[in-house]
A and B are shown apart, each in its own frame.
Chain A
Amino acid sequence: MISDLFALNVLIGILASGIRLATPYLYAAIGETFGQRSGVLNLGVEGQMLIGAFAAFYVALSTGNLWLGLLAAMIVGALMGLAMAYVTVNLSAEQGISGIGFFLFGLGMSELLFQKLMGTVETVKGFPKIYIPGLSDIPGIGEIFFSHNLLVYGAYLLVPVAWFVLNKTTLGLKIRSVGENPDAADSLGVSVARIRYFTLILGGTLSGIAGASLSIALLNVFQQNLTSGLGFIAVALVYFGAWRPAGVLGGALLFSMINSLQLWIQVLGIPIPSDIAVMMPYVLTILVLVATVSRVRAPAALTKPFERES
């Protein structure tokens, strides 16, 4: 039975599933990485995802246009990010608590709109799988890497882009300096407020896309609490990935691959109780975290509101 796991089609299945499952985590966690690197912890990711997922679904359902749906998710996500920025930057509110407030707002608001505007679970035709001539035909590789929809590819392209922006551009330097030493950045003429507004709006936009990747690309339905905790796992992945896009990618893939592995373990009838199987991704992620943590330090100004000394 265990040997079934190493059959080629099973390995291909595990890898392809893992790549799909990691998609929403990547968008949300990369967005969160920007926020945290600039010194703001946003626990409202889950709420932003839910609102984004609903907006994308509802707009796609009523207009029949998936791109408008995606745009709607980005806009509402950005607005949620803007609100978060106002609360944490201008009002200097406690970041953890206000993030939870935004999560609850997103949860309640998406539910209310769902009840009022739709009333029942419906389905849409989401973004289709994209066939890439040549690449999609390679046996095995094609199915693992090149049998996905547009938003899946987008998530993986985002990783190098985020790395480049954070590490190789002036903007990235400003973000990092605001997150490490806002006083120094401020004295050099970098607007701490403006940078944090930027990263939070960007984070909100990406969380909105994360929600849309569920509701109009991967699942093609909307239901109350569709994300069921994905957004919080995304925040954890930022810590797991040591505030680096590549680390976030590694964490998201590890978690998702083990999740798809446990799905296959059950399908193949390998005699491990289902309760143990579903624990595996969490247990292994914690183990890896324990083994690798402590080498990296969080951005020094994380969770600290910036107030200019006068």
Chain B
Amino acid sequence: MKKSLWFLTLILILSIVLSACGALAGGQTSEKFRVAVVMPSAKNDLAFSQSMVDALTRIQEEMGPDKFEFVFSENMFVVDDAAAAVRDYASQGYNLIIAHGSQYGSSLQEIAPDFPKTSFAWGTTADTFGMRNVFAYEAASQEGGYVNGVLAATLSQSNVIGIVGPIETGDAKLYVDGFKAGVLATKPDAQVNVNYIGSFSDVALASEAATTHISAGADVLTGTAQMVVGAIGKAEESNVLWFGTQSNQTSLAPSIVVASQVYHWEGIVKEMIASIQDGVLGGTTFTANLANGGEVIEFNPDYALPAEAKTLADTTIAGIKDGSITIALP
């Protein structure tokens, strides 16, 4: 029996080490601006978490690795683990700690007062809890959703369009509602079928949801969150168009992805850095949108988008930027 306990302990330790190996340890130079990120899914999920890693990578390229450094803990699906990671990073003296997920809010609310000299950020949300060392950031994902929706309506021939969503909340709901508004503003008689699968991770169900949409006659699909990777494959198999969001999803199916709304958090993070260097550690809410470059519609160069559709997309983007198009959300 003793032998077996020993073995079990070994297995458990090994597994914990393996699952934690995504987190990298940071250096200790004090002149560098040091950022730590805690995020719910993988750094390369082609969605929410990747959007932040890509943004920080771009900042590092711009500022240089000797001036800017970042580390991250990925797959922090369990909020308790994430909270522990945030606290660890705070005690290691990082300048800015980003809790990249709205589920981390209450943990941050608890931790931030213990480290008054450290700056924290969390999103997507608008709530800084009124704390002086907490930034909040959110994405107006309905804007890119609207542009995608306008294009989807223009390209659809069956006038049936399907949406695969995770859980009816946060920026997923904003995106879905914006997309729907965009479709209906362009083709009021189009039919938009929405399916929330109840999970951010169930790739199998998301992919079957896409198949369901296609059986129901949809010839254009979109979807949001990291579980849509399988759904994109189903769209490709049936030669149905796809619109992406959060990250550029073209690489998954170059023949059918028309455009993706991509989050470019670097503008917001740079504003936070500037603010911290001026001694203001928090208290502001930032919104990424089309106008401030926090959201960009990236077209797939390999998809032959008709010129008039491209023009329509460009005028829609311009309209949202200058405020002449307002998006009515339910």
Contact = CB atoms under 8 A, between A and B. Distances in A.
Interface string A253-277: 0000001100110111100001101
B196 to A, nearest CB: 4
A101 B212 CA distance: 37
Interface in B12-54: 12, 14-19, 21-22, 41-42, 44-46
Contacts of B199: 228, 278
A218 B22 contact: no
A221 B42 CA distance: 15
Interface string B156-175: 00000010010110000000
A102 B216 contact: no
B213 interface: yes
Interface stretch (B3-11, B105-113, B114-122, B277-285): B3-11
Nearest to A102: B11
Interface stretch (B56-64, B125-133, B181-189, B200-208): B200-208
Contact of A268 (B193, B201, B251, B252): B193
Contacts of A278: 196-199
B1 A92 contact: yes
B204 A223 contact: no
Interface residues of A, number: 55
Interface stretch (B80-88, B92-100, B226-234, B321-329): B226-234
Contacts, number: 169
Contact of B233 (A219, A264, A266): A219
Contacts of A302: none
B211 interface: yes
A90 to B, nearest CB: 9
Contact of A223 (B193, B215, B226): B226
B240 interface: no
A20 B229 CA distance: 18
Contacts of A92: 1, 4
Given A112-B18, A219-B233, A267 B46 contact: no
A24 B212 contact: no
B167 to A, nearest CB: 8
- The SS class assigned to the A binding surface is helix
A147 B230 CA distance: 19
Contacts of A21: 204-205, 208
Contacts of B17: 108
Contact of A218 (B4, B15, B207): B207
Contacts of B203: 214, 219, 221, 223, 226, 228
6 contacts: A20-B211, A21-B208, A101-B12, A111-B75, A120-B44, A278-B197
Interface of B: 1, 3-5, 7-8, 11-12, 14-19, 21-22, 41-42, 44-46, 75, 162, 165, 167-168, 193-199, 201-205, 207-209, 211-213, 215-216, 226-227, 229-230, 232-233, 236, 251-253
